[in-house]
Amino acid sequence: SQQGEEDPQALSIQEGENATMNCSYKTSINNLQWYRQNSGRGLVHLILIRSNEREKHSGRLRVTLDTSKKSSSLLITASRAADTASYFCATGGGAQKLVFGQGTRLTINP
């Protein structure tokens, strides 16, 4: 069963615009991670945010975490064609069984 649920399932924007994806989860977590997957390829780790953190930045990525609402968001600023991919949130508990959502398919149109 999936723990994280990404929203929207699909997102299509113009190059240069910002893309925001959301993730909701059900149980308490130690940390939440975001991954990117290009079509048919492996998952690439983007960023990890701990349960005691509220916001984290990495380059054009900004992740927020609201543990009271059990939700996280991933913002990609100034999107590029190369950002076209599926984005997954994954929650990790103590046993490090990362549980992934269904992902958001992001398409950046030139």
Q: Does 59 bind another protein (CB under 8 A)?
A: no
Closest among 55, 33, 13 to 101, alpha carbons compared: 33
Q: Does 82 bind another protein (CB under 8 A)?
A: no
Q: Which of 79, 88, 104, 108 binds another protein (CB under 8 A)?
A: 88
Under a CB-based contact definition with an 8 Å cutoff, are residues 20 and 106 in contact? Answer: no
Residues 38-57 that bind another protein (CB under 8 A): 40-45, 48, 50-52
Q: Does 67 bind another protein (CB under 8 A)?
A: no
